[in-house]
Amino acid sequence: MRDYLQQLGIDPAGKHFGDIACGTGLILLDYAQEFPEVKFTGFDITEESVNRANEVLAQENVTNARAYLQNIMELELESEFDYILSWGTIHHLPDSEEGIRLLCRALKPGGVIRTGIYGLYGNWERRIQQEVVGTIAGERNGSDLAQRIAVVRDFARGDRNFRNYYTAPPVDLSDDVWVVDEFLHVWENHLSLREVVSWLQDQGMEILKMTDYYDQEIPLDIARHSTSESFIERVRQLPFADQCHVIDMIVRPYWLSLFARKSTQ
C-alpha cells in the first residue's frame, strides 16, 4: 500500500482515506495500523459488520479509524476523501454506474480511487454455471433458496469437470454461504473493463494503472500484449476505453482493480 501511494505521489500524512464497503473491517484495521498518520473511515450496509469492525478496532486500540452504517447508493458526501478503496463492492450494487458516480463525487479533486470488481471475460465459467442453475431452479431471486442450493450441489456431483475447471476461489460446496455467494447472489454484475473505464472517465477520472486481485500489474498498453506492430497501431487508433476493451478480451482478467485520479479542474 505504501509503495502504491508513493508511485501515485500521495503523501498520506493528514489525509482522509475511505474503505467503502469495509465489511468487518479487516482491511480497515490493517491500513489504520500501517498508517497511523491517516484518518480512516469505513462504510458498510450491514449493521452487524459495522459493529464487528468497530469492536476489532477497539480491541486493537486503533484510534484513527471508525466504521459507520452507510448504503453506498445513498452516499451524499462530496469532496471528502483523498483516497477511496472500494474492494469487492461495485459489482454487487443494483446500479454499478451510479455507484461509481457517487464514489467519485466523494473524492476530493486530485483524489484517487481503487476499485476491485468482477471482470466479465475472466468469469465466464462461473456465469455459465449460474445460468445453468437459473435455468433449472428459476431466477436467482425468484425461487426457494434451499432448492437452488440443492441444484448447485446436484450439478457439481454430475459434472466431472466442475472441480477441475471451477476452483478459483476454491470450491466448498458444503458451505451454504459460499454456495449462495458464488452462484446465487441476487446482486452480482460482471463488468467489462470498457464499462468501468468509461464510467470513471465520465466522472473526470484519469486511469492511472490496473492490477489483478493479487496486485500484479495488467498493463493498459496493447504493446505489452502483442508483438504485431500493425495490430498495435490499429488498437492505438481507438479511443482509450476501446483499447482497454481489446486488452480485456485478450487478457480476460478475473478481477478489475483500477487506480484512477480525479481531475483538479
Q: Which domains does the chain have, with CATH numbers?
A: 2-120+188-262 (3.40.50.150), 124-183 (no CATH)
- Other CB atoms within 10 A of residue 252 CB: 13
Higher per-residue pLDDT: 200 or 5: 200
Cα 16–chain centre separation: 20
In the chain, the percentage of residues whose pLDDT exceeds 90 is 69
Give the pTM: 0.87
CA distance 70 to 75: 7
Measure the CA–CA gap between 85 and 103, rounded to whole angstroms. Answer: 10
pLDDT score of 169: 53
pLDDT at 124: 82
Residue 179 clears pLDDT 60, i.e. is over it: yes
Which strands sit side by side in the sheet containing 65-69, from one edge to the other? Answer: 65-69, 39-44, 16-20, 81-87, 107-118, 255-262, 205-211
Strand duo 107-118 + 81-87: pairing: parallel
The mean per-residue pLDDT over the stretch 174-182 comes to: 83
175: cell is 458451505
Q: What is the pLDDT of residues 47-101, one digit of tens each?
A: 999 999 999 999 999 999 999 999 999 999 999 999 999 999 999 999 999 999 9
pLDDT number for residue 145? 83
